[in-house]
Amino acid sequence: MLLLVIVIIFAGLQLTPGDPLAYMIPPEQLGSADFDIEAYKKAMGLDAPVYIQFFQWFGDLLQGELGFSLVDGSAISKMLANRLPATLELAFAALAVSSVLGILLGLVSSIRQNSAVDYGNTALGVLGISVPEFFVGIIAIQVFAITLGWLPVSGRIGYGDVTFFDRIDYLVMPALVLGFSLTAALMRYTRGTMLDVLGKDYVKTARSKGLPEWKVITKHAFRNALMPVVLLLVFRLPLLIGGTVIIESVFGWPGMGGMLLDAVSAKDYPVVMICTMLVAFMVLLASFLVDLLTALLDPRVRFE
């Protein structure tokens, strides 16, 4: 599956207009009679047929060589070492925030069904799913950074910051904005699964035995409703990593999002290939973890 994804992405990049030379070299130099464009293409390996370029790149990848950027010649491994930790930090922070808020709000909505709290959470969920992330990010910057001055406008680290807690104020706003839509979806999903479980016969039986309501909810209902919620969270992780592109651009976060946007604009296919391959790998890994978690959480599902 990963190989198929790589082939499709490589073919799609070849079909896009432009080439790295048009991005790297000024137009007046490209149009000059003294400029030998074929020599540049040969030096960069762009003169070979498409399938030869692919097998050369894939052969280097199998040997552990991630390659170099066609635009500035930087080693992609060093680019990832500088950018990937920032993206993972933002994605995991957004996942943690959205997990706590989404499950908690969904649980409260299911317990207080058709109450003012339930209606308010439902409205919040619709808003979180409907409003684009970049719009929420711009509003957050205007309110919390510019108007109130509580949080920095952009960036990841300030002058003199050393530890994670020194720069946590840079992480708060992008993590909350990125996790806003996931919180909304998770809250609605948790509410739906809890209401479904609360109507099951074994929950009614637990109540008929005289068990306290909190024990019925935590031990019998919530535990069984948690499995589909956990699976949703696992599937959301690769989407968060791939979806940080917009948020990183809005908040000036130095992660893979900006690097990927620049690489796509420049048709820097080695960088694009590695970035998209990482996202595809995360999706496949999430699918594998979902199978494992299903077997661990559901006693009805076990490996032979």
pLDDT value at residue 157: 79
Tell which residue, 250, 241, 281, 298, has the closest CA to residue 86. Answer: 241
pLDDT value at residue 21: 66
The domains of the chain, with CATH numbers, are 2-62 (no CATH), 83-258 (1.10.3720.10)
Average pLDDT over every residue of 88-110:
87
Q: Are 175 and 90 a contacting pair, CB within 8 Å? A: yes
**Token pair of 68, please?**
């170099």
Q: How many CB atoms lie within 10 A of CB 294?
A: 17
Of 24-28, 46-50, 255-259, the range with the highest mean pLDDT is 255-259
Kindly indicate the confidence band of residue 85, based on its pLDDT and cuts at 50, 70 and 90: confident
Using the structure block, give the residue that is written with the tokens 């409907």.
Answer: 130
Q: Are 71 and 266 a contacting pair, CB within 8 Å? A: yes
Burial 85-102 (b: 16+ CB within 10 A, else e): ebbbbbbebbbebbbebb
Question: For residue range 153-191, what is the model confidence (pLDDT) as tens digits?
Answer: 888 877 767 777 778 888 889 988 888 888 888 888 888
pLDDT value at residue 28: 63
pLDDT value at residue 84: 86
Distance (Å, whole) CA 59 – CA 61: 5
Give the residue ranges of DSSP H helices in the chain.
Answer: 2-15, 20-24, 27-30, 37-44, 50-62, 76-111, 116-130, 133-140, 168-198, 201-208, 213-215, 223-251, 256-266, 269-297
Average pLDDT over every residue of 224-239:
76
Tell which residue, 249, 292, 269, has the closest CA to residue 54. Answer: 269
pLDDT value at residue 182: 84
Distance (Å, whole) CA 217 – CA 194: 9
**Token pair of 63, please?**
């040997």
Distance (Å, whole) CA 44 – CA 47: 8
The pLDDT of residue 265 is above 80? no
**Residue that wins the pLDDT comparison between 232 and 285:** 285
Q: Are 182 and 102 a contacting pair, CB within 8 Å? A: yes
Question: For residue range 34-45, what is the model confidence (pLDDT) as tens digits?
Answer: 666 677 667 666
Distance (Å, whole) CA 233 – CA 282: 13
pLDDT value at residue 208: 83
Distance (Å, whole) CA 282 – CA 110: 32
The pLDDT of residue 225 is above 80? no
Beta bridge partners, 252, equal none
